[in-house]
C-alpha cells in the first residue's frame, strides 16, 4: 500500500477512502454496453487527481491501493471489494481480466485493520452492490451471478444485513443505474433502470451521469460534471453538489462511485 495522502493511518475511525491511480494502459479498459471511444491516458490521470482532490477537499483522507499498472481497469477500485463495517469481502469480478486487481485491495484493507474475507463462490463486482442502511441491494446482471449474490447474502447475514437481488440488464452495474441519497431516496436514470419498483422511494434524474452520486457527508454529493441539470436538481433538494470531471472514465463505463471505496467508522 502506498503511503497515505495525509495523517498516519493507525486506525480506521474517520472518513477514509481507498483509491487506485489509473494504469498507463487505462485506454484498454473494457467496454460492454457502449461504443469504444479513444481514451486519453494523460487526461484520465489528471481527472483522477481532480477526483482525489475533491474528496480530500471535503475532509476525506485517501489511501492508495498499490498501483496495478498491468490492469487497465484497476482505477475502478470499487469493483474489488464490498466493505460492511469492519468486514471487507473481496470480490471475484465477473470479467476474468479484472481478477488480478483484487489482491492489492485486500493488502490495503488488512493493513488498515479490516477483517478481510473471500467471496467464496460465484462472481460479483462491487459496483453491483448498493448499501442503504442494513439493506444491501445487489444487481444480478452481466458481472454478478446467482452464486455471487448467494455468497454475499451469507456474508451479509452474519452482520445482520439483508441482501435484495435486483435484476439488471440495461447497464454495466447496479450503481451505474441507481445510487442512494443520504436520506435513503434512490435516484436513477429511468431508461437504464430495469424496475424502479424495487426501491421504496425512487426519484428519476434527467441525465445518466446524474444517477450516480457519492455521499461525502454533511449533505455534500460528489457528481459527474456531465450532469449539470441533475446537480441543480440536487441543490434544489437542499444538497450540495460537488462536481468532478470524469469524462475519460465515463468512456469506459465508469462513474463517480467506482473510483473509490469509502471506509466508514465501524458500527
Ligand X SMILES: NC(=O)NCCC[C@H](N)C(=O)O
| Strands in 191-231 per DSSP E | 202-204, 214-217, 220-224
Q: In this structure, are residues 234 and 241 in contact, taking their beta carbons and an 8 Å threshold?
A: yes
From 71, 212, 255, 258, active-site residue: 258
* Cα distance between residue 61 and residue 58, in whole Å: 9
Q: Which residue is nearest to ligand X (CB)?
A: 127
Q: How far is the CB of 7 from ligand X (least distance, A)?
A: 28
Which one, of 215, 224, 216, 220, lies nearest residue 254 by Cα? 224
212 is catalytic: no
Residues in touch with ligand X (CB under 6 A) = 29-30, 32, 73, 76, 78-79, 95, 98, 127, 172-173, 175-176, 252-255, 257-258
* Cα distance between residue 101 and residue 40, in whole Å: 21
Q: How far is the CB of 90 from ligand X (least distance, A)?
A: 15
Whichever of 32 and 240 has its CB closer to ligand X, that residue is: 32
Whichever of 63 and 255 has its CB closer to ligand X, that residue is: 255
* Cα distance between residue 228 and residue 265, in whole Å: 31
173 is catalytic: yes
Whichever of 29 and 141 has its CB closer to ligand X, that residue is: 29
Q: Is 177 exposed, middle or buried (0-12, 13-18, 19+ CB in 10 A)?
A: buried
Output the CA torsion sign for 137, 103, 221, 256: negative
Please count the other Cβ atoms lying within 10 Å of the Cβ belonging to residue 73: 25
Whichever of 73 and 248 has its CB closer to ligand X, that residue is: 73
Q: What CA–CA distances, in Å, run from 40 to 53, 75, 176?
A: 20, 14, 22
Whichever of 4 and 122 has its CB closer to ligand X, that residue is: 122
* Cα distance between residue 126 and residue 131, in whole Å: 11
From 33, 71, 173, 255, active-site residue: 173
Residues with a known catalytic role: 173, 258
Amino acid at each position: 500500500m502506498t503511503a497515505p495522502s495525509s495523517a498516519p493511518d493507525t486506525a480506521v475511525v474517520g472518513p477514509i477512502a481507498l483509491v487506485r491511480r489509473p494504469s498507463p494502459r487505462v485506454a484498454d479498459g473494457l467496454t460492454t454496453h457502449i461504443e469504444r471511444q479513444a481514451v486519453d491516458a494523460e487526461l484520465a490521470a489528471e481527472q483522477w487527481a481532480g477526483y482525489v482532490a475533491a474528496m480530500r477537499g471535503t475532509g476525506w483522507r485517501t489511501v492508495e491501493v498499490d498501483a496495478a499498472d498491468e490492469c487497465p481497469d484497476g482505477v475502478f477500485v470499487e469493483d474489488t471489494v464490498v466493505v460492511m463495517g469492519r468486514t471487507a469481502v473481496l470480490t471475484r469480478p465477473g470479467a476474468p481480466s479484472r481478477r488480478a486487481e483484487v489482491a492489492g485491495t485486500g493488502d490495503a484493507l488488512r493493513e488498515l485493520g479490516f477483517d478481510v474475507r473471500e467471496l467464496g463462490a460465484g462472481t460479483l463486482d462491487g459496483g453491483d452492490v448498493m448499501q442503504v442502511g442494513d439493506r444491501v441491494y445487489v444487481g444480478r446482471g452481466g458481472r454478478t451471478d446467482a452464486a455471487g449474490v448467494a455468497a454475499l447474502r451469507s456474508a451479509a447475514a452474519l452482520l445482520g444485513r439483508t441482501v435484495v437481488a435486483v435484476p439488471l440488464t440495461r447497464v454495466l452495474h447496479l450503481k451505474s443505474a441507481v445510487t442512494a441519497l443520504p436520506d435513503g431516496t434512490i435516484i436513477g436514470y429511468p431508461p437504464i433502470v430495469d424496475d424502479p419498483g424495487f426501491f421504496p422511494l425512487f426519484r428519476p434524474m434527467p441525465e445518466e451521469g446524474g444517477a450516480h452520486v457519492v455521499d461525502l457527508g454533511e449533505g455534500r454529493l460528489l457528481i459527474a460534471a456531465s450532469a449539470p441539470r441533475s446537480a441543480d436538481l440536487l441543490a434544489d433538494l437542499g444538497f450540495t453538489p460537488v462536481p468532478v470531471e470524469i469524462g475519460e472514465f465515463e468512456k469506459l463505463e465508469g462513474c463517480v462511485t467506482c473510483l473509490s471505496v469509502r471506509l466508514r467508522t465501524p458500527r
